[in-house]
Structure 1
């Protein structure tokens, strides 16, 4: 677990580091940065699994680069006193927003979301940020038909029939997507609004027929859940 902390107040940074080590133990490799510039450099030079980001860094606004951060393969947890920005942060696809002042229990709850299936409400996450041609583009969740695993990346298949490549894995996106998205197969997540019907095929196989007539495979372990949801 490679963890990057971007926090300009040394006392708070050390407190976050101490609580983080208490939660993750020796498996955590933690790097501290005190500015957005040094944080971005660290992300370019080191593998990151989890980013803990303050939004006000020596007068710099963390929201200026939040889209860049959430487009990465890692999860982002905001730790900030600017609670009025929490709704916007969640809309961009952060894993959690921990308001300052905080304690070990609240920070631990944010860390627990990494390992638990705690899904956000339907209207909490509004965008997925993707990198394209050196720029960050925000894809609205409501425009995603389904998501397909593509190695360590994912393909966002959109309602306009375009496809966008995302740096996050299916497992990482599953923690950010609202409850109207369902993992139906080891390689597919679908938006329920796009589903037409469940179809049985020869050999005990099952597919989901989408409203645009595409067929997606259904994993055997997912069949009963999907069938019950479609009743």
Structure 2
């Protein structure tokens, strides 16, 4: 099943895309939004495989929203203006759907996305329990359940376990794509955490292994929505 979100400032356009998606058994609409800022808050902690994303929106444009995401999903841009299509090359857009969008055009775009996502999954299988990173000359196995938090350090990240630290050349955004959905979330431009290892939350900081990590303003609302959802 391919998880998708639909983002368009026109409610009618959202409804059209949702109707089209409901006819495809392999496509699951996780959420839909008419306000880009709300979409960004949700997507920052609820990764999807594919976005149907309007380019020309008030506030954040579709392109600006993509630049803000902490990971890079596949994207099909939707637009009423043909001249915007070239702008999406930065994100390797799979397709551009020109409004009004017919079901047949939608189906063709989804087939392209399904093929791209299947190819990616086949080429880069991810273990359910661990992954490997380079630390200097060493290749080190990282177990998901032991990873406490991740810290950005320029062109590198520090992966902090209970009693160890591994440094590797990548970004938090790239690394989050290797990690299980829903357990690892970004809380700051410089930090992502494993929710299973939070000891406490106080004064917009989380404590993990006696280390206090800040919750950045950009990520705060989405983080608290997730925490409140899990509270008894």
Query: Which TM-score tier does this pair reach, normalised by the shorter chain?
Result: 0.3 to 0.5
TM (norm. structure 2) is 0.48
From the two aligned structures, give the one with the greater strand fraction.
Answer: 1
- Ranked by relative contact order (alpha carbons within 8 Å, sequence separation 6 or more), the top structure is 2
- What TM-score do you get using the length of structure 1 for normalisation? 0.48
